[in-house]
Amino acid sequence: MREYMLLLSRKRTILLEKGKIHVTSVGRVDLRNAEYGDVMEIGGEEYVLVKPTLADMMKKLKRGAQIVMPKDAAQIAATTGLERGWKCLDAGSGSGFLAIFLGSMVGKRGSVYTYERREDFYRIAKKNIEKCGLEGVVKIKNEDVKNFRERNLDLITFDMKDSHKLVGRARKRLKAGGWLVIYSPHIEAQIRAREEMEKEEMFIHSTIENIQRRWKSRYGYTHPEPSGILHTGFLTFARKVL
C-alpha cells in the first residue's frame, strides 16, 4: 500500500506520496527521506509534513460520479449512531466516497459491501478505496445491487435511481433496529421511498436536508460566501421493526 504525506502551510495543503520526488505548482518536493513532523521550505513558504486524515485523502480522490458530500455522510453517521463493527451495504458506489467514509467508521471489525454496476465508476471507486487503505473493510462488486445477498445488516445506504424498488429487499436483510437510508437529489425519490417504507411497516425516522454555508471574514467584512452549493440531496431514514 502506498503511503501519503500532507504538506501543510498557513495557506495551503498539498497531498503527496511518501518516499518520492514530486514537481508541484509551488516547486520541487523531495520526500525520499521525509518523516512526519519535518518542516520544509518550498517556494519561500514553510510546510510541516503530517499524516493525512481520511478527510484530507478524500479531497484528493478521483471523482467519476457525483459524490456524497462530507456533510451528508456525517449526517448519516450522526442520525444512525454508526458504530465500530457495523455491517453495511452501500449502492451505488459512484466514486466510492460514502463507502470509504462508512468503512473508516466501522473499522476492521466491521464491513461495507458496495455495489456499482457501471464499470468505469467501479474502477474509480476501487482505486479510491485502495488509496485510502480500506480494501480490507470495503468490498466493492461490479454488479447490479438488485440481487444482493448480504443479510443481518446494521445499515443500508442507497444512492441510485429507483431506490424505492429495493426497500422491501432491504428491510428483509436488515437486523431488527437496522437502518435504511435513501439519499437522492430529487424529492420524488424521497416521496416514493417513504411510501415503500410505510408499506413495509418500517419506523420512518425523518427526511432531512442540510444547507451549508461557508462564511468569509477579512478585516471587518464578514459574510456568507455569495455563491456556492445550494443543494446536494435529501436523506430519508427508516428502521426495520419486524
3-state secondary structure of 190: helix
Told to check if 44 binds a second copy by CB under 8 A, we report no
Interatomic CA distance for residues 195 and 114, integer angstroms: 25
Which amino acid appears at position 126 of this protein? K
**Torsion sign (Cα): 89, 173, 237, 192:** positive
Among 32, 33, 37, 119, binds a second copy (CB under 8 A): 37
Told to check if 177 binds a second copy by CB under 8 A, we report yes
Told to check if 191 binds a second copy by CB under 8 A, we report yes
Q: For residues 27 and 85, which CB has a smaller minimum distance to a second copy in the complex?
A: 85
Among 136, 146, 187, 199, binds a second copy (CB under 8 A): 187
Count of residues that interact with a second copy, criterion CB under 8 A? 81
Among 30, 46, 120, 162, binds a second copy (CB under 8 A): 46
Told to check if 73 binds a second copy by CB under 8 A, we report yes
Interatomic CA distance for residues 210 and 139, integer angstroms: 29
Q: Least distance in Å: CB of 41 to a second copy?
A: 12
Among 82, 98, 138, 180, binds a second copy (CB under 8 A): 82
Among 15, 26, 40, 54, binds a second copy (CB under 8 A): 54
Cβ atoms of residues 182 and 193 within 8 Å: yes
Q: For residues 143 and 198, which CB has a smaller minimum distance to a second copy in the complex?
A: 198
β-sheet bridge partners, residue 50: 6
By CB under 8 A, the residues from 93 to 132 that bind a second copy are: 101, 104-105, 107
Give the 3-state DSSP-derived string for 121-144, with helices as H, strands as E and coil as C: HHHHHHHHHHHCCCCCCEEEECCC
* DSSP 8-state class, residue 10: S
Question: What separation in angstroms does the CA of 242 have from each of 42, 147, 163, 178?
Answer: 60, 21, 20, 10
Among 81, 136, 146, 152, binds a second copy (CB under 8 A): 81
Cβ atoms of residues 88 and 102 within 8 Å: yes
Told to check if 172 binds a second copy by CB under 8 A, we report no
Q: Least distance in Å: CB of 92 to a second copy?
A: 17
β-sheet bridge partners, residue 64: none
Told to check if 232 binds a second copy by CB under 8 A, we report yes
Position of cell 485523502?
A: 57
Q: For residues 68 and 122, which CB has a smaller minimum distance to a second copy in the complex?
A: 68
